Amino acid sequence: MAATSVQAQQQQPLLGFGTEAAKKELDLEAAFDKQLQANNLRDWMKRMTAFPHQLGSPYGLNNALFLRDKLASWGFDARLDTVHVLFPTPKVRILELTEPTKFKASLTEKPLKEDATSAQTKDVLPPYHAFSANGDVTAELVFVNYGVPDDYEELAKLGVDVKGKIVIAKYGGSWRGIKPKVAYEHGAIGCIIYSDPKEDGYFQGDVYPKGAFKNESGVQRGSVVDLPLAPGDPLTNGFVADAAHKRLSVDEAPAMMKIPVLPISYGDALPLLKALGGQVAPATWRGALPITYHVGPGPAKVHLKLEFNFDIVPCYNVIATLKGSEFPDQWVIRGNHHDAWVFGAADPVSGAVAELEEARALGELVKTGWNPKRTIVYCWWDGEEPGLLGSTEWVEKYQSILKEKAVVYLNSDGNGRGYLGAGGSHTLEKFVNQVGRDVTDPEKGTSVIERLRSRTILNGTPTAKQEARSRADLRIGALGSGSDYTPFIQHLGIASLNVGYGGEDAGGDYHSIFDSYDHYTRFKDGDFAYGVTLAKTLGRSVLRFANADVLPFDFSNFANTVQGYTAEVKKELEAARTKAEDHNKVLGEGRFEAAADPKDPFVKPSVESVAPYLNFAPLDNALVRLEQSAKAFASASSKFSTLPADKLKELNEILYKTERKLIHADGLPRRPWYRHQIYAPGFYTGYGVKTLPMIREAIEQKNWKEAEEGILRVSGVLEGFVGEVERAIGVGR
């Protein structure tokens, strides 16, 4: 049944291919699928995760050379493209409770006999946060929940100030780098981040090695570079260090964290939290430790001392090219990082080996006489974990070439068992749906897109449920940051996709020594069936982009998506206005004082700024034109594949450069590196995306003037985009 329906769907037209070409393409994809072997993924994962392979490590270079040599043996033009970047590693780490009792945190993860690599010590980086400041501070402790801006509003209501204090925050609720940044903005002098068992420990399920979840010694390492400001080497934001471009000093680097920050386990956090007094934490802040959670400050006092080596290290990107036979100057780029925090089986090796198997299968197709029309560039990035260092420096190094030649960037970053997860440029939403239609789920035999549709109908939000039934294409998420697509889409405006499977593979191993081959094969994708499925999904995407007559971009779903974002920001503005009006009303009536518990400290809230009415007309007008041009393009596109070669070439160049029109040379306010005007990582969410970021964040920050400027900025960018769509229609006429 399921197979027949997939076949029936396959007979529907293939975006970018005429009838004959589509048939040939589907045959080629079937031959590609036949090549893929799960055992290769298993062998390569075992090999690549045998030793720690973080940026700057001997085994990191060993893996890079392994990848390069494999690729060269399959017929790719493969090389290491090396850049030099700042990589801080820990020299001194001390955390101790000095009052009211004494306790010294172990700051180590305990090896397990059930986990073969966990007892290694050579080249293992202990738990730390890359790009933390040096520091030696002693102060009272305050518990700040997730440490996001809302939590500090709550603390202010409780009369608790963190100025001059050390804060302890839970992982979760935002990207980790936001926590010390917001703590610093509120005057804290140090920050500790711990993994509460409620998030990924025993509250969720059995802990490792019995189950997949975090045990009491597991710690999440990670970067705290100010990623929403700019990724890449913080000493060289926007460029690569060379004779003409000098590195900043560590002290000058704006993206460096300003206070010391350290990750710890819940084993180490328990005595600190237990020693806290003060008010009982709000109900939603409490975790799963066997204590009553208090916010402090004190009487717990802690001493935190951190020192780092600030070394410049080589960063080895592996770049492998198959030259296009017809359009060598149009590049289809595919990437996944190869560096890990320690052994990194799930993150990133599960994705890196799927990508490697794709490349091997392409090499086999070449042996049969096939050649891609466009150039295919396969990349394995180094230094992703400390802050997208390898990919960002590569993009900055080759930016003028990439602006001209990059057609699309296809990313993965780890993989597991479960459902298709896809995010990216909405001009690619239809494309992703077609690819997902043609890939079969290994557990259920239905297409991966239909499986995702079923889950959305069961578990989605009310709107998502309704749309999953009525809308032809499933929606894809927008990209914020957190992986190597960031420099491509956010800095240069190269249409990008990020794809991975997951949702049936939970665990607490992320960025700990327990993200290992043993953990992965027991709890994630033990038979590598979803690794092969990822290779089918992204390999197919590469093949379609490399071979298409007309590049498979579509503008209707993009127009529909931006209309949705606009409706959201209008709603947010209305909600902000109502909230501020209500707040000011009850404040004026004296109701806060009247309702407060006289035994608790009372802090009178201040008057809130009420949102004015903003003029959305320019944006509404641009959206109407966008919708019209998208419709006109869709109806004109049926004839495109019959165009003469020179016209097709011109058309395709316009198509893949439409995304470039969504960037603005000035970038976003206070963070010029981020230039995309539709998608950006949130300034206070980190990885989490903010769509229409200039408008949305201005409304959230109650900066009404900037919101109005944002409306004009986005309208202008969309008008430019519409101009290109109309030009494409003109060429195709």
CB of 671 to Zn ion, least distance (A): 23
Number of residues binding to Zn ion, judged by CB under 5 A = 3
CB of 186 to Zn ion, least distance (A): 30
Residues from 542 through 561 that contact Zn ion (CB under 5 A): none
Which CA distances in Å does 633 have to 552, 637, 648, 731?
12, 6, 15, 11
Assess contact for 480 and 688: CB atoms under 8 A.
yes
- Name residue, tokens 């296809």: 410
Amino acid at site 334: R
**Nearest residue (CB) to Zn ion, 233 versus 347:** 347
**Nearest residue (CB) to Zn ion, 423 versus 732:** 423
Alpha-carbon torsion angle 554, 560, 561, 565, nearest 10: 150
Q: How many CA atoms lie within 13 A of 657 on its CB side?
A: 16
Assess contact for 480 and 687: CB atoms under 8 A.
yes
**Nearest residue (CB) to Zn ion, 347 versus 357:** 347
Residues from 405 through 444 that contact Zn ion (CB under 5 A): 413
CB of 263 to Zn ion, least distance (A): 17
**Nearest residue (CB) to Zn ion, 385 versus 724:** 385
Q: Per the omega criterion (within 30 degrees of 0), is the bond before 299 cis?
A: yes
Of 541, 452, 547, nearest in space to 503 by CA: 452
Q: Which residues of 103-141 are buried (b: 16+ CB within 10 A; e: fewer)?
A: bebebbbebbeebebbebeeebbebbbbbbbebebebbb
**Nearest residue (CB) to Zn ion, 29 versus 413:** 413
φ/ψ of 272, rounded to 5, equals: -70, -45
∠ CA 292-296-299, rounded to 5° = 100
| C-alpha to C-alpha distance for 131 and 487, rounded to whole angstroms | 19
CB of 321 to Zn ion, least distance (A): 23
**Could you tell me if residue 112 is left (phi over 0), alpha (psi between -120 and 50 degrees) or otherwise beta?**
beta
Q: By CB under 5 A, tell whether 509 contacts Zn ion.
A: no
**Nearest residue (CB) to Zn ion, 308 versus 687:** 687
Assess contact for 448 and 575: CB atoms under 8 A.
no
**Nearest residue (CB) to Zn ion, 199 versus 347:** 347
CB of 127 to Zn ion, least distance (A): 17
| C-alpha to C-alpha distance for 220 and 194, rounded to whole angstroms | 8
φ/ψ of 584, rounded to 5, equals: -65, -35
Q: DSSP alpha helices (H): ranges in 368-461?
A: 389-397, 399-405, 429-437, 448-459
**Nearest residue (CB) to Zn ion, 118 versus 412:** 412
For the chain, what is the largest distance between any 2 Cα atoms, rounded to a whole number of angstroms?
Answer: 83
CB of 351 to Zn ion, least distance (A): 8
**Nearest residue (CB) to Zn ion, 115 versus 347:** 347
243: buried, middle or exposed (CB in 10 Å: 19+, 13-18, 0-12)?
exposed
**Nearest residue (CB) to Zn ion, 352 versus 420:** 352
- Name residue, tokens 């929403």: 228
CB of 702 to Zn ion, least distance (A): 35
CB of 339 to Zn ion, least distance (A): 9
**Nearest residue (CB) to Zn ion, 55 versus 259:** 55
**Nearest residue (CB) to Zn ion, 174 versus 557:** 174
CB of 654 to Zn ion, least distance (A): 34
CB of 346 to Zn ion, least distance (A): 9
Residues from 308 through 347 that contact Zn ion (CB under 5 A): 347
| C-alpha to C-alpha distance for 719 and 714, rounded to whole angstroms | 9
Coil, helix or strand at residue 589: coil
Residues from 29 through 88 that contact Zn ion (CB under 5 A): none
CB of 489 to Zn ion, least distance (A): 17
**Nearest residue (CB) to Zn ion, 281 versus 340:** 340
What binding mask, one character per residue, do residues 367-406 give for Zn ion by CB under 5 A, x or -?
----------------------------------------
Structure tokens at 469: 């039934």
**Nearest residue (CB) to Zn ion, 330 versus 411:** 411
Structure tokens at 35: 């090549």
DSSP-derived secondary structure letter, 706: H
Assess contact for 441 and 448: CB atoms under 8 A.
yes
Of 53, 693, 672, 615, nearest in space to 337 by CA: 53
∠ CA 648-651-655, rounded to 5° = 135
The gap from C-alpha 614 to its chain's centroid, in whole angstroms, comes to: 32
Residue 559: count other Cβ atoms within 10 Å of its Cβ: 26
CB of 511 to Zn ion, least distance (A): 9
CB of 542 to Zn ion, least distance (A): 20
CB of 337 to Zn ion, least distance (A): 6
| C-alpha to C-alpha distance for 169 and 224, rounded to whole angstroms | 14
CB of 196 to Zn ion, least distance (A): 22
Residues from 344 through 363 that contact Zn ion (CB under 5 A): 347-348
**Nearest residue (CB) to Zn ion, 355 versus 554:** 355
| C-alpha to C-alpha distance for 427 and 561, rounded to whole angstroms | 10
Which parts of this chain interact with Zn ion (CB under 5 A)?
347-348, 413
